[in-house]
Amino acid sequence: MTLQICVYEDHQYGQFYPITSTRPVATMRAGILPLFRRAERFFDDYPLCLAVRDDVAGLVAVEHRDYPVNIIKRNPDQAVLFLNGRIREFADLPDLVRGTRLSTVFRNQGEVVAVLFDAEAVDEIGPVASPQDYVTLFHDQRADLAEFDTLATLYNYSWEIMGDIEKEVTADFRFLKSKVTGSKGGRVHQGSYILSPDQVYLGMATEVMPLSLLDASNGPICIGDNTRVEPQAALYGPCYIGPNSVVVAGKIVSSSIGHTCRVGGEVEESVFHSYINKYHAGFIGHSYIGSWVNFGAMTTNSDLKNNYTEIQVSVRGKPTATGLIKVGSFIGDHTKFGIGTLLNTGINVGVCCNIYGGGLVTDKEIGSFRWGDGPPWTEYRIDKALETVRRSMERRNIVLTGQEEALLRAIAEGRESDRGVIGF
């Protein structure tokens, strides 16, 4: 059986706000690769495409150019496998898929994890179709579909993704290493220190400067192309630093830092998406940070209560138990923090906020487009916010696209839509 694989977005994407205000769960990251690309470990020979809500489709198509978005092309003999973009552990799912020749729904505790359409079932759809055509087929044929329980699990909240950083960096490192012959081999200057060098990958034109430390004794370190690790910076694996980034003095532990970031101070068990400036001292721990976020000097978050009790996070106004005693911050795209900002344990901060004043922010959740040094927050007017967005992007030679501007305006005006989400 040959497959066309479609990784899709379901209706639970709102449980990952504010990160998913501007992206689907499948393009979030725990390790080196976005979540949807983990399917390549188990279905390596088959092409991938993405099905996402209309609001973010244009942005996803630009960021992940190699993967078709909201269009499925298949050969006449191909079955089509829909994989939930929230899959956490694939477990027995790949074997179950390969072991059936029938159109099948795979569930875990009642939730749909995957749907397989056999080649004969999709003949009426044709070789080029939208994901919604398959949703219609699913509901038309639902009574005839086989169903299997699977041990494959799903993510439900951002802190679960954050909690898998060490495991996923290690798994991605092994997968990518199996695909690469040799190392690109950046330049390691005399006077730097590398522990367990066989567990370190350096991209092309990457430099590791004197008096820096790469300690891979507890897990791999992968550093992308054209990245610079400056003196007095220490990286502790498992850890990923994306291409075109700079790591300045400080300590990064068990984290996944995306491309084009400037990172210093102390970062622990956190995901930075891309284009993030944390160039100065201050601590960010057990957090998931969206793109284009700026941390002023000494901005610091709490990730542990003084009484070591479980942390609750407010997601879209709903207090939610995490089951964890270490949870930091979840911060949406284009949010900026002034110098000395202190963030409370388990805080959610929305898209395009400007927070300053140097005091402790005690709120559990701050909506998008908010401005000020504490409650009551002022509305951050959309035109003013977009001016700042454009300026920060121009500093990286990036132009704000019409699709992204339209999405930010929709968020500011409360016009977000779930149109295009897959409803199996």
Q: For residue 174, tell me if it sits in a domain.
A: no
Q: What is the mean pLDDT of the chain?
A: 96
Q: Which amino acid is at 172?
A: D
Residue 28 clears pLDDT 80, i.e. is over it: yes
Q: What is the domain extent for residue 321?
A: 280-416
Q: Looking at residue 349, what is its pLDDT?
A: 98
Does residue 150 share a domain with residue 7?
yes
Q: Is pLDDT of 85 > 70?
A: yes
The answer to whether the beta carbons of residues 316 and 325 sit under 8 Å apart is no
- 142 and 284 in a single domain? The answer is no
Mean pLDDT lowest for which of 176-180, 228-232, 289-293?
Answer: 176-180
Q: How many CB atoms lie within 10 A of CB 217?
A: 9
Domain boundary among 112, 137, 156: 156
Last residue of a domain, one of 136, 156, 176: 156
Residue 40 in 3-state DSSP?
helix
Across the range 55-69, mean pLDDT stands at: 96
CA–CA distance, 375 with 370 (Å, rounded to integer): 10
Beta bridge partners of 265: 250
Cβ atoms 418, 10 nearer than 8 A = no
Q: pLDDT band at 91, cuts 50/70/90?
A: very high
Average pLDDT over residues 136-151: 94
Can you give the pLDDT at residue 232?
97
- For 19-31, what is the mean pLDDT? 98
pLDDT recorded at residue 61: 95
The pLDDT assigned to 126 comes to: 86
Q: For residues 250 and 234, what is the distance between their CA atoms, to the nearest angstrom?
A: 6
Query: Percent of the chain scored above 90 by pLDDT?
Result: 93
The pLDDT of residue 69 is above 70? yes
Question: In this structure, what CATH number is given to the domain that contains residue 60?
Answer: 3.90.550.10
Q: Answer yes or no: is 291 within a domain.
A: yes
Query: What percent of the chain is predicted at pLDDT more than 70?
Result: 99
Q: Does residue 207 lie in a domain region? A: no
pLDDT, residue 184, reads 65
Residue 402 sits in a domain whose CATH number is 2.160.10.10
Q: Is 309 helix (H, G, I), strand (E, B) or coil?
A: coil
Domain boundary among 156, 184, 211: 156
134 found inside a domain: yes
Total of domains in the chain: 2
- Structure tokens that stand for 242 in this block: 């994306």
What is residue 314's predicted lDDT score, i.e. its pLDDT?
Answer: 97
What pLDDT, on a 0 to 100 scale, did the predictor assign at position 1? 80
Together in a domain, 151 and 6? yes
Residue whose C-alpha is closest to residue 301's, from 210, 363, 233: 363
Higher pLDDT, 408 or 1: 408
Domain membership flag for residue 170: no
6 lies in the same domain as 144:
yes
164-193 pLDDT per residue, tens: 999 999 999 999 988 765 556 789 999 999
**Do residues 18 and 152 share a domain?**
yes
Question: Is 181 a member of any domain?
Answer: no
Give mean pLDDT, residues 221-227: 97
Is residue 348 in a domain? yes
For residues 222 and 205, the answer to whether their CB atoms sit within 8 Å is no
- 191 in a structural domain: no
Query: SS3 of 249, please?
Result: strand
Residues 255, 209: Cα–Cα separation, whole Å: 20
Give the E-state strand segments of 60-124 in sequence order: 72-73, 78-84, 87-89, 104-108, 111-117
pLDDT of amino acid 76: 87
- Dump pLDDT digits (tens) for 102-117: 999 999 999 999 999 9
Alpha carbon distance 357, 339 (integer Å):
8
